[in-house]
Amino acid sequence: MTSSYTTAAKVYQSKNKYVQQEYAIELLELSQMKEGDHVLDIGCGCGNLAAIMSDIVGPTGQVIAIDPDLNRIKAAKKAFGSKKNITFIPCKSTVFPLDESNLYDVIITNAVLHWIPTEEKMITFARVNQALKPDGVFVGNISFSRSYNLQLAATLLSPEEEFQINNFYYRENYKKLYSLFNDAGFQIIEYKKRFAEINMGTVDNFLEWVTATYYGKFDFKKAYENSEVTEEDFEKLKNGDIRHISEGATFVLRR
């Protein structure tokens, strides 16, 4: 029988590709990634971005893609394992592969850092700085706050489950993250605030994505069906579809 965690990984792969596509395109442009580059993807999820990068770097390049969630790594290998220039590894950002004889041209992280505790961010950033070539870049983004609809979704759960949700995130503010980059010794090339608005379609589609985002640990659709919350309670776009926003920062750092 397929576990809820495995199912969540599959849903995450299909729905998160759409949700995070806009973020990823911006990061790829900022990275100036090219053929032959050696690239690390921190928090690769189910491999959608890693697959795009593998096409950019080509057969002479290499993509190392890491994620701590084994089910998402399994989904990535199943979908993109035939690509010879990608290696998917289940591991945390604090212990990613570091080969001093083959440093990275680009290290990228898309919609991941708010899941990593501050102390682990500090270790990760120091390791990233060490793992980059002298002219290599670290490119990424972070969300500093939850959207109204994500907060509403959390209230669908029991108080104990909502408490767990609230403690999943580690969101430093704009100034604090900047100071962490400085402390890690990066040259800050670009650091800017970011706002993204995404059409999530129906309430069911949105709640399926939220369920998958939290590894299938909580069934938000079932909780919604058993609650007094209605579709009208969700924040919507002008066309009536469910609105998801992300406010945070985008950065380009150099060793």
State pLDDT tens for residues 1-51: 345 445 444 444 454 555 567 788 899 999 999 999 999 999 999 899 999
* Verdict on whether the full-model pTM lies above 0.75: yes
Domain locations along the chain: 4-146+169-201+244-254
CATH 3.40.50.720 is held by the domain 4-146+169-201+244-254: no
Interval 197-208: pLDDT, tens:
889 999 999 999
pLDDT for res 16: 52
Please state, in angstroms and rounded to a whole number, the distance separating the CA atoms of residues 133 and 31.
14
Interval 172-187: pLDDT, tens:
999 999 999 999 999 9
**Higher-confidence position of 235 and 21:** 235
